[in-house]
Amino acid sequence: MVSPSPVHDGTTLGQTDFDLHGMVGVRVLGTADDAAVVRRQLGPMDGPLDHTPEILVRFVDTLATGPLTLVGKDEYAHDDHGFFLLRAKGKSRVRVRIDLDRLDDRSRPFEVTVERGAPAVPLLIALVNLFVLASGSLALHACAFEYQGVGVVVTGWSKGGKTETLLTMLEAGARYVGDEWVYIDGGGATVAGIPEPIRVWDWYLDQIPEPGRLTPRADRTRLRLLAAANEMGDLVQGGRLGKRAARLARRADHLIRGQRHVDVDPAILTGGDLGSLRTTFDLLVLAESSPSPLTSMSRIDPHPVAAAMAASLAYERRPLADAHDAFRYSFPGRRSRFLESAGSLEEERLGKIFDGKPTWRLRHPYPAVLEDIGRALSPILGGPR
């Protein structure tokens, strides 16, 4: 929803609100193009807010500053009054003002001022997750789906197999709830998601029937060319190269492998109907990759999983924590007490939410075999065989 001033084109200024299941409100002040930057991160969560937004993102043509002092090499900076981010994800150059001590002031929205041209708002998801925590709920690095009336949360460390499990179950007819980040109410009864793009690697596509329905021909061509480049790199490295040439070849090979994916709108995976993006939290799965070629499922105690995921959440929050350290360096004596206490609060809340949940460990090789994941899940979900 856009209110109160409609945004008719990419240049007319207006206000766009995003409602994340009533937990956090984000208000964007800017053009329709500016709102689209945020929408790419949060998904189509536009909606009226029944309360003052927790986060206010203001886009400007030029972010005015006083003389800047750099903190790190083109990462952060400050003037006499404000703190600035100079890099976004992917190392793209941005200029964003974000005074992190204001996270503790709940009497007004936390403001992020972004100079136009940024491909994304740096740290936006981390800030949303922090305000979810402040609301009494919990942001979890996980995916969630509903299958035959059972709401399932699949969590774990990065590259642990969450997206693989989600894709497997969507192919079997599960209902999409969320990928990458999901939001659990403080009592642990329900889980909600945001429809962020799903990162699908080329080896996933090789295992999905009719991959063309997920990706345009141009993307599939790009993936084939990247795979061919990696194969060529393997041949080159297998020959006789000097140390410097071999090092450069390995670096190029690594960079190319990191590009062998497409970001897919979850609406494409669900036939265009995302539904409520909410389900009950009935079952917890810890997904982990293993050197073993076998895929297996075993029952486990949820309490160690809670402790493990507290560490995972701290890891995922590290870019925000690093920015906070640079902010404290820039302005000694100014800090966010809430941000500093987030880890202990998450660990306590995870313990309460996971307590009593039927919990399973899914172990699989990496890359995973989606069919094997389906077979492993079948005994507990009646899923694909």
DSSP, residue by residue, 28-50: EEE-HHHHHHHHHHH-S-B---S
Q: Are 78 and 68 in contact (CB under 8 A)?
A: yes
Residue 8 lies in a domain: no
What pLDDT is stored for residue 201 in this prediction? Answer: 67
Domain containing 256: what range? Answer: 211-263
Supply the pLDDT for residue 229: 60
CATH number assigned to the domain comprising residue 359? 3.40.50
Q: Is residue 320 domain-resident?
A: yes
DSSP state letters, 62-123 = S---SS-EEETTTTEEE-SS-EEEEE-GGG-EEEEE--GGGGG-TTSPEEEEEETT-SS-TT
Pick from 131, 147, 170: which residue ends a domain? 131
Do 285 and 346 share a domain, yes or no?
yes
352 is a domain residue: yes
Instruction: Determine the Cα–Cα distance for residues 111 and 125; give it in Å rounded to an integer.
Output: 14
DSSP state of 384: -
Residue 203 belongs to some domain of the structure: no
- 257 and 271 both lie in a single domain: no
376 and 274 inside one domain: yes
Angle at 286 between CA 281 and CA 292, to 5 degrees: 155
Task: Classify burial at 152, counting beta carbons within 10 Å of its beta carbon; exposed 0-12, middle 13-18, buried 19 or more.
Answer: buried
Q: What's this model's pTM, rounded to 2 decimal places?
A: 0.86
Cis before residue 302, ω within 30 degrees of 0?
A: no
Q: How many residues does the chain have?
A: 385
Q: Are residues 222 and 142 in the same domain?
A: no
376 and 273 housed in the same domain? yes
- Domain for residue 103, yes or no? yes
For the chain (385 residues), the mean pLDDT of every run of 10, in chain order, is 41 89 96 95 92 97 95 94 90 93 96 95 97 97 95 93 90 91 97 87 70 64 60 57 62 64 77 87 96 95 98 97 98 97 98 97 91 92 63
The domain total for the chain is: 3
- What is the structure's pLDDT at 2? 36
**What gap in Å lies between CA 122 and CA 38, rounded to an integer?**
10
324 secondary structure, DSSP code: H
Distance in angstroms (rounded) separating the CA atoms of residues 69 and 79: 6
Query: Are 189 and 92 part of one and the same domain?
Result: no
Pair (249, 289) in one structural domain: no
Cα separation of 348 and 50, whole Å? 29
Per-residue DSSP letters for 222-243? Answer: HHHHHHHHHHHHHHHHHS---H
| 284 and 374 housed in the same domain | yes
Q: Are residues 177 and 290 in the same domain?
A: yes
Q: Domain for residue 222, yes or no? A: yes
Asked if residues 103 and 336 have their Cβ atoms less than 8 Å apart, the reply is yes
Are 127 and 40 in the same domain? yes
Residues 286 and 316 in one domain: yes
On whether residue 351 sits in a domain, the answer given is: yes
Last residue of a domain, one of 240, 263, 286: 263
Residues 183 and 315 in one domain: yes
Domain boundary residue, one of 131, 162, 188:
131
pLDDT at residue 12, as a whole number: 72
| Domain-embedded: residue 282 | yes
Rg for the chain, CA atoms, rounded: 22
